[in-house]
Amino acid sequence: MNPTRRGPADAALLLLVSAVVALFALPLVGLALRAPWGELAARLQSETVREALWLSAWCATAATACSLVLGLPVAVWLAAGAGPVRSAVRVLVTLPMVLPPVVGGIALLVAFGRNGIVGAWLLQWFGIALPFTSAGVVLAATWVAMPFFVLTAEAGLRSFDRRFADAASTLGAGRWRTFRTVTLPLVLPSLRAGLVVAWARALGEFGATITFAGNLAGHTRTMPLAVYVALESEPEAAIVLSLLLVALSAALLFALRDRWWPAR
Amino acid sequence: MVVFAASSLTAAFEALATGFEQRHPGVDVELHFAGTPQLVLQLREGAPADVFAAADTVHMQKVVAAGRTAAAPATFARNGLAIVVAAGNPKGVASLADLARGDLRVALCGPEVPAGRYARQALAQAGVTVRSLSDEPNVKALLGKVRLGELDAGIVYRTDTRDPGVTGIDLAAAHDVVAEYPIAALTNGPAADLAGAFVGYVCSADGARVLAGFGFRGP
Amino acid sequence: MTLNAKLVLRRGALDLDVEFEVGAGETLALVGPNGAGKSTCLHAIAGLVPLSAGQVRLAGDVFDEPSRGVRVPAEARGAGVVFQEHRLFPHLTALDNTAYGLRCRGAARSAARASARAWLERFGLGAVAEALPRALSGGQAQRVALARALAAGPRLLLLDEPLAAVDATARLELRRELRAHMASFAGPRILVAHDALDAFAFADRIAVLEHGRIVQSGTVAEICSRPRSRYVADLVGTNLLRGVVEGGVLRLPGGGALVVAGSASGDVVATVHPRAIALFRQRPDGSPRNVWSAPITFVEAAGDRMRVQLGGAVPLVAEVTPAAVAELGLARGGDVWVAIKATEIALDPI
């Protein structure tokens, strides 16, 4: 068979890919066409946009950090074996991926709200109330984003070749040292990919945030909330904010595509 | 036929649709509820609908300006405002002035939402300054947080306080803001011939009775 | 410092129950068919696989004794392991791989690296010290793996088919090098070999494993002369002699000498096929360069052939037809004339 010849199957595949590309590209094109380019600069410099952008960036980053710190031990434990307990925990941790985020927001309120199971206790003993605070935004974003990290990290850890860990132990490395110097570096691509997905998910988080943390400019109004609010008052502003969010995410994913995203 | 209605009209319009279907056998009324601004956005983008019932005249004017209305809008109901608190009013809220108290956690709907705009008008008329913890996206979200005890008080429509999980305190007449609900038949809907009949029914004495059953006042 | 191992465990289809002992400076080769449990023995001694019964003891230290609940973790045993597929850490350079064990033992980074560099240079790997394992050839990688194991300062050395993953051309040289480096290691050494040549090249003693049991063990000569199972017979179906070639003459440790062809010199394993050995009642005339008289120590049937074991300075096994045995009157205790052509002796430098 001549490898340079294109069969009808190739053409069909190309057509399908083009259709899918159009599906993803057209909404962006639509945004770009409707954008009020003339007033773009002025709108981007507005207090509202700067506040929302800054809040979104640091909350998404904090949520990603929480996902790493809390999610990695869970992923390690999940990857270390099988059984009904692990399966149950995996389902529990994965649930936020499939639940509507608004449901998550209500669930968080019931758990961590002022009258929540844990929230009432937190308020009584420590005077901490999470709803309507930036910490609440981080909690909501962590709740929806961490599953993405845990699952990706677990898959990476599961595909890790135990034989390298064995080799390390014969050289005198204990469990922690082996994990730190062999396992972790070898699963790093998976962890990075997991962090990128988690960050992207946290950045786009809307439902759980507005339900649990509310919508207050400068404190809990992240970019997606700002887009929503703007949509109700001035749709042009919503388009500008959406474009900004798209550009920001695309630029980041593109810049990190080689180092953080396993391209090959 | 398709009817777009503000979410504060949910229960009332479900009853109205049933009444209309009984009078017009074979007609199926499809109701679509959302925040008024969202409905306006969808209508301006060409969503197929026969009737639009809004929570304020400002948003209705946007639809008129977009050329979607088939006839001039008519006001079919009015609503007043109320302070909503947890069932039984444990914090002893009596008036708008109480909302400025430091021990109360208060939130309003966002200023882009009719309910939020009305609430701010009422507060301005009463000369009360309130620190809103959150600009809630709609009345239902605000009600939910009061019911869960996350908020001590908020300002909503009088009709919303019929919810058994909360207690409503009607605003003093001097500070109350009257919300007008306009309705209009639209062009480009799937059943444009029925649109006028539906608007007529809502504005009729029968329609007014149904609306009154849900706490709305006549126009 | 002697290693005593009694290994009892079950793992999948394998039911392992073996016992052996390896002295300081001694090399034991474990040979046997695939799945016999050779690698599992190494892993059990290294602490990578738990025993269900038995004991592993190095000098006075008990590594493993399930009946007393003793189990020293792998990292505390000091067993240097060279795995079949080198298992170099892919994210570390050859140098950092080699320094890994030293770092684990608490050496400072610079000291560990200096020592590792010295090890790599000793193995002729100075030029690839900064290379990642994927840039190394199979032979280089296996050398680094041995350097890494030795640099950690192990108390015993375990090699699992170290030549298996190396291509044939590199194998010759690597075998020679491994032998030299193993010889310089003073502790007990165990080598898993798939190839008889490797086993005979490296080992002082051989243990043959089949289905998780040792079916035969002994010195190279003992195994060769009396194969006790079909596998061993096939394995040693040919005569293997270790010796030194000098000026076209192979000198054997027992004092014997054979004239050989070719240009090889130095340490070799010589291979002589049993059917290439001709036996005569009287001294033969003609071309064979190697002719001598040898005592017959044993005669046995092997399928449709007879194996005749010859004693003396050149221990060999010849294979002849039953008819020839009768015709020549071969019997244990008698003498026979032996002739081998120089070209029938294959030489593998080691």
Q: For the segment C236-270, what is each residue's pLDDT rounded down to a tens digit?
A: 667 878 889 988 899 988 888 888 888 888 888 88
Residues B102 and B23 in one domain: no
- Burial of B88 per CB tally in 10 Å (0-12, 13-18, 19+): exposed
**Domain, as residue range, for C34:** 3-235
Contact state of A229 with B149 under an 8 Å Cβ cutoff: no
Are C187 and C1 in contact, with CB atoms under 8 Å apart?
A: yes
The yes-or-no verdict on residue C165 having pLDDT over 80 is no
Shared-domain flag, residues C223 and C255:
no
Q: For residue A16, is pLDDT > 50? A: yes
Pick from A137, A151, A143: which is nearest to A107 by CA? A143
**Residue C81 sits in the same domain as residue C211:** yes
Q: Which residues of C touch A181 (CB under 8 A)?
A: 100
Contact C101, A169 (CB under 8 A): no
Gap from A261 CA to chain C (nearest CA, Å)? 17
Helix (H, G, I), strand (E, B) or coil at C254: coil
C33-67 per-position pLDDT tens digit:
888 899 999 999 999 999 999 999 999 899 999 99
The reply to whether B219 falls in a domain is no
Do C55 and C85 reside in the same domain of the chain?
A: yes
pLDDT digits (tens, 9 = 90+) for B105-138: 999 998 888 889 999 999 999 999 998 899 988 8
The answer, yes or no, to whether C and A have at least 3 beta-carbon pairs within 8 Å is yes
Q: Model's pTM, two decimal places? A: 0.74
Of the candidates C216, C101, C86, the one whose C-alpha atom is nearest the C-alpha of residue C144 is: C86
* Residue in C43, C48, C105 nearest the CB of A172: C105
Residue A263 is predicted with a pLDDT of 47
C60 lies in the same domain as C171: yes
**Chains near B (3 or more Cβ pairs under 8 Å):** A
B46 and B118 in a single domain? The answer is no
Q: By three-state DSSP, how is residue B215 classified?
A: coil
Taking only the tens place, the pLDDT of each residue in A125-173 is 888 888 888 999 999 999 999 999 999 999 999 988 889 999 999 999 9
Q: Is residue B175 in some structural domain?
A: no
Asked whether residue C234 carries a pLDDT value surpassing 80, the answer given is no
> In angstroms, what separates the C-alpha of C217 from chain A's closest C-alpha?
27
Lowest-confidence segment of C65-79, C86-100, C175-189, C297-311 by average pLDDT: C297-311
Could you tell me what percent of chain C has a pLDDT over 90? 43
Pairing of strands B135-136, B106-109: parallel
At which of C201, C235, C269 does a domain end? C235
Q: What value does the mean pLDDT take over residues C158-180?
A: 82
- Compute the distance between CA of residue B26 and CA of residue C149 in angstroms, rounded to an integer: 86
Answer yes or no: is pLDDT of C233 > 50.
Answer: yes
Same domain, B69 and B85: no
Interchain contact B136–A (C-beta under 8 A)? yes
Which among A113, A221, A232 has the least Cβ separation from residue B38?
A232
Beta bridge partners of B33: B5
pLDDT at A264 over 50: no
Q: Look up residue B163 and give its two tokens.
A: 């919810």
Beta bridge partners of C240: C271
Strands B30-34 and B2-6: parallel
Chain B residues with CB-CB distance to A235 below 8 A: 41
Give the span between the Cα atoms of C121 and A103, in whole angstroms.
64
CA pair distance C176, C179, nearest whole angstrom: 5
The answer on B119 and B94 residing in a single domain is: yes
Q: Which chains sit next to A, with 3 or more Cβ pairs under 8 A?
A: B, C
Residue B68 domain-assigned?
Answer: yes
Contact check, Cβ <8 Å, A132/B134: yes
Mean pLDDT of C168-183: 81
Give tens-digit pLDDT for C193-228.
Answer: 877 777 877 888 999 998 999 988 888 777 766 666
Shortest distance between the Cα of C91 and any Cα of chain A, in A, equals: 7
Task: Reply yes or no on whether the pLDDT at B163 is more than 90.
Answer: no
Q: Which of C173, C203, C235 marks a domain boundary?
A: C235
Q: Which residues contact C121 (CB under 8 A, 6 or more apart)?
A: none
Supply the CATH number for residue B152's domain. Answer: 3.40.190.10
- Calpha distance C102→C110 (Å, rounded): 11
User: Could you tell me the CATH number of the domain that includes residue C258?
Assistant: 2.40.50.100
Tell me the pLDDT tens digit for each residue of A232-242.
Answer: 777 778 888 88
Tell which residue, B49, B80, B28, B82, has the closest CA to residue B184.
B49
Query: In order of start, what are the domains of chain A with their CATH numbers?
Result: 38-255 (1.10.3720.10)
User: pLDDT tens-digit profile of A185-214?
Assistant: 999 988 988 998 899 899 989 989 988 888
Angle at A9 between CA A7 and CA A10, to 5 degrees: 70
Residue B16 shares a structural domain with residue B61: yes
Helix spans in chain C (H): 38-46, 94-104, 109-122, 138-151, 168-183, 196-202, 220-225, 230-235, 322-328
According to the model, what pLDDT value does residue B45 have? 82
Q: Does B58 touch chain A (CB under 8 A)?
A: no
Phi then psi for A113, rounded to 5 degrees? -70, 180
The H-or-E segment that residue C10 falls in is strand C3-11
Chains B and C contact (Cβ–Cβ under 8 Å for 3 or more pairs):
no
Q: How far is A166 from chain C (nearest CA, A)?
A: 7
Query: Which of C205, C235, C265 is the last residue in one of the domains?
Result: C235
Which residues of A fall within a CB distance of 8 Å from C75? 169-174
Q: Do B112 and A232 touch (CB under 8 A)?
A: yes
Nearest CA to CA, how far is C40 from chain A (Å)? 13
CATH number of the domain encompassing residue C214? 3.40.50.300
- Could you say which DSSP state residue C337 is in? E
Residues B131 and B206 occupy one common structural domain: no
Q: Which amino acid is at A225?
A: L
> What is the token pair recorded at C47?
């602490």
Amino acid C230: pLDDT? 65
| Partner residue facing A172 (CB), from C43, C87, C101 | C101
**Is residue B124 assigned to a domain?**
yes
- Chain C residues within 8 A of A167 when measuring between CB atoms: 81, 83, 87, 89
C27 and C88 together in one domain = yes
Q: Which amino acid is at B167?
A: T
Using the beta-carbon criterion (under 8 Å), do A232 and B136 form an inter-chain contact? no
Q: Please check the confidence at residue A258 and state whether its pLDDT lies above 70.
A: no
| CA gap B116, B122 in Å, rounded | 10
How close A29 gets to chain C, by Cα (Å)? 42
* Residue A172: per-residue pLDDT: 92
What does pLDDT average to over chain B? 90
User: SS3 sequence, chain A?
Assistant: CCCCCCCHHHHHHHHHHHHHHHHHHHHHHHHHHHCCHHHHHHHHCCHHHHHHHHHHHHHHHHHHHHHHHHHHHHHHHHHCCCCHHHHHHHHHHHHHHHCCHHHHHHHHHHHHCCCCCCHHHHHHHHCCCCCCCHHHHHHHHHHHHHHHHHHHHHHHHHHCCHHHHHHHHHCCCCHHHHHHHHHHHHHHHHHHHHHHHHHHHHHHCCHHHHHHCCCCCCCCCCHHHHHHHHHHHCHHHHHHHHHHHHHHHHHHHHHCCCCCCCCC
Residue by residue, DSSP assigns B81-101 as EEEEEETT-TT---SGGGGG-
pLDDT band at A4 (very low <50, low <70, confident <90, very high): low
Flag whether B150 is in a domain.
Answer: yes
Residue of A nearest to B147 (CA): A115
The 3-class secondary structure across C71-103, one letter per residue, is ECCHHHCCEEEECCCCCCCCCCCHHHHHHHHHH
Quick check: A47 pLDDT over 50? yes
* Residues 6 or more apart whose Cβ sits within 8 Å of residue A65: none
C292 and C262 in a single domain? The answer is: yes
Contact B144 A235 (CB under 8 A): no
Residue B218 lies in a domain: no
Residue A1, pLDDT > 50, answer no
Mean pLDDT of A20-44: 86
The 10s digit of each residue's pLDDT in B44-75 is: 888 889 999 998 999 999 999 998 899 899 99
Q: Chain A: residue nearest B110 by CA?
A: A229
* C147-159 burial code (b ≥16 CB/10 A, e <16): bbbbbbebbbbbb
How many domains is chain B built from? Answer: 2
**Boundaries of domain holding B110:** 81-170
A167 vs chain C: nearest CA distance in angstroms?
A: 7
Higher pLDDT, C78 or B175: C78
Same domain, B34 and B105: no
Check CB contact of A210 with chain B, cutoff 8 Å. Answer: yes
Looking at residue A261, its pLDDT comes to 55
Whether B150 sits inside 8 A of A114 (CB atoms) is yes
Characterize A137-146 residue by residue with b for buried, 16 or more Cβ atoms within 10 angstroms of its Cβ, and e for exposed. bbbbbbbbbb
Q: Are residues C181 and C148 in the same domain?
A: yes
Mean pLDDT calculated for residue range A19-44: 86
Cβ-contact C45, C190 below 8 angstroms? yes
Work out how many domains chain C is built from and give that number: 2
Q: Supply the DSSP symbol for C313.
A: S
**pLDDT score of C283:** 85
Partner residue facing A216 (CB), from B41, B133, B148: B133
Q: Are B137 and B190 within one domain?
A: no
Are C158 and C179 part of one and the same domain? yes
